[in-house]
Amino acid sequence: MADRMTKRICVYCGSGVGGRDGYAEAARTLGRALVERGIGLVFGGGRIGMMGVLAQTVLAGGGEAIGVIPKDLLDRGLGLTSVTSLRVVETMHARKALMVELADAFIAVPGGFGTAEEFFEALTWAQLGLHTKPCGLLNVHGYFDHLIRFVDHAVQEQFIDSANRGLLLVDDSPEALLDKLDSWKPRVVDKAVWATKLIKDAPDRSLG
């Protein structure tokens, strides 16, 4: 089925479970799907919220769960210590960099500021050609509908290149989203050509 080898997926998820039972259940469904496919989980190392639900589901099914957590958060008692491996880092920046390094793909499930920020950093790095790993939103109950409309509006207003719109994969089904990540074909970016085109095509309106 898969055209690419996905050993581990980084899932960005929040420290809360939201106001609907369906959000946590989607995390459980995703966790079970990862175990069934033999795909390891990379996550933020927390024991609460969507992070805890997802990781504990993976662990209960006998799967691999690698947590990456800043020492400050671990010291506050927020870490899930029963994981396969808990990587303790000094800063949030180090946490994000290590999560990207450990994973072959990225998924965001419903969350808040941190979830969006971490996912969009991974997506931006794909746009820049810093990695060739797929990025997907698990759009449970239409949670990301407004965010997707924002992206489409940014494309329409020419702040996001239409060619880069395909970097954002979306589905409301964990299984279907995993299929999309597996079958995604990375776009080869010539960084020098990309930078030259960016400068050439961008109208300089800054001088009025």
pLDDT tens-place values along the chain, 208 residues long: 344 578 999 999 989 999 988 999 999 999 999 999 999 999 999 999 999 999 999 999 999 999 999 999 999 999 999 999 999 999 999 999 999 999 999 999 999 999 999 999 999 999 999 999 999 999 999 999 999 999 999 999 999 999 999 999 999 999 999 999 999 988 765 555 555 655 666 666 554 4
Query: Would you state the pLDDT for residue 1?
Result: 38
Query: Would you state the pLDDT for residue 206?
Result: 52
Burial 47-80 (b: 16+ CB within 10 A, else e): bebbbbbbbbbbbeeebbbbbbbbeebbeeebbb
What CATH code is assigned to 8-201? 3.40.50.450
Query: Residue 204: what residue type?
Result: D
Query: Would you state the pLDDT for residue 186?
Result: 82
Query: Would you state the pLDDT for residue 188?
Result: 65
Contact 80, 55 (CB under 8 A): yes
Query: Would you state the pLDDT for residue 63?
Result: 97
Query: Would you state the pLDDT for residue 14?
Result: 87
Q: What is the C-alpha separation between 64 and 5, in angstroms, rounded?
A: 16
Q: What is the pTM of this model?
A: 0.89
Token pair recorded at residue 74: 């671990």
Q: In what order do the strands lie in the sheet with 168-171?
A: 85-89, 65-70, 40-43, 8-12, 105-108, 135-138, 168-171
Query: Would you state the pLDDT for residue 92?
Result: 95
Phi (first) and psi of residue 14, to 5 degrees = -85, 175
Query: Would you state the pLDDT for residue 208?
Result: 44
Token pair recorded at residue 30: 């995703």
CA count, 13 A, side-chain hemisphere, 124: 7
Identify the CA nearest to 63 among candidates 96, 34, 102, 85: 34
